[in-house]
């Protein structure tokens, strides 16, 4: 039987979601604890791959298990075994061909920027000390609605067949000392959100105009875009499925 897990984690102590040699990952920790609790080797598949230090307010993963699971009991037991920076929300049965990665119809991220220095937010925000023109940043963000090819914001040498994405939402929210960039799309390229934010910040400080942001999109050239912002400000916030 196939099961979905809905979970969240703080990324500070992990080298991303995906299992990798000689580095601790969220996937490895979760697989190990599941295997102990269920007394069977469990392999999980995530809805995507978050990079080192990136957080997830909502992530899904699936796994197969030969027996029947009491979801509430397993959720409680897993949370007891897992470290404090990983939390299981729920576990539920799905159809046998359901897939957390391929069945997702959209994903959403937030990027958190704190304006000024705050020692309590160093692991959860990117702290900057510039005045930003948020109106210009939002004006530039809206331009992305008219484009589908986002190669300019993709990490080089990735194994994707297409750079096309359907951006459904891209907006900056100003909450006092906290700026939050909300972005939602049917799919994201590797490093895409952090590169978008880095380029929009150049608009915010006056290094690029809104028109030049548009030219970056049309260039399809990563070298034309801004520097990727640090990982600790990035959060995966939502993964949507047609049947969840």
> Which residues are known catalytic residues?
51
Tell me whether residue 84 is exposed, middle or buried, using C-beta atoms within 10 angstroms of its C-beta: 0 to 12, 13 to 18, 19 or more. Answer: exposed
Residue 98 buriedness (CB in 10 A; 0-12 / 13-18 / 19+): middle
Ramachandran region, residue 153 (left: φ > 0; alpha: ψ -120 to 50; beta: rest) = alpha
CA 112 to chain centre: 12
DSSP letter string, 200-214 = HHHHHTTSS-HHHHH
- Which residue(s) pair with 5 in the sheet? 61, 91
Contact 38/110 with Cβ under 8 angstroms? Answer: no
The residue to which tokens 């729920």 are assigned = 90
Q: What does the block give as tokens for 5?
A: 């897990």
- Tell me if residue 143 falls in helix, strand or coil: helix
């Amino acid at each position: 039987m196939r099961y979905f897990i809905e979970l969240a984690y703080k990324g500070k102590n992990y080298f991303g979601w995906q299992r990798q040699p000689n580095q601790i990952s969220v996937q490895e920790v979760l697989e190990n604890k599941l295997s102990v609790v269920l007394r069977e080797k469990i392999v999980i598949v995530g809805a995507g791959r978050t990079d080192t230090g990136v957080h997830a307010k909502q992530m899904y993963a699936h796994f197969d298990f030969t027996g029947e699971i009491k979801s509430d009991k397993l959720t409680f037991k897993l949370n007891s075994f897992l470290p404090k920076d990983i939390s299981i929300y729920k576990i539920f049965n799905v159809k046998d061909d359901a897939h957390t990665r391929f069945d997702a119809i959209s994903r959403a991220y937030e990027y958190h920027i704190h304006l000024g220095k705050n020692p309590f937010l160093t692991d959860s925000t990117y702290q900057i000390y510039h005045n930003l023109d948020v109106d210009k940043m939002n004006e530039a963000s809206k331009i992305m609605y008219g484009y589908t090819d986002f190669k300019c914001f993709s990490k080089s040498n990735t194994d994707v067949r297409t750079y096309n994405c359907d951006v459904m939402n891209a907006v900056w929210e100003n909450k006092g000392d906290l700026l939050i960039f909300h972005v939602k799309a049917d799919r994201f390229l590797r490093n895409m959100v952090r590169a978008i934010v880095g380029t929009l910040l150049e608009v915010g400080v006056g290094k690029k105009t809104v028109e030049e942001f548009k030219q970056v999109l049309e260039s399809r050239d990563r070298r034309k875009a801004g520097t990727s912002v640090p990982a600790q400000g990035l959060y995966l916030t939502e993964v949507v499925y047609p049947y969840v």
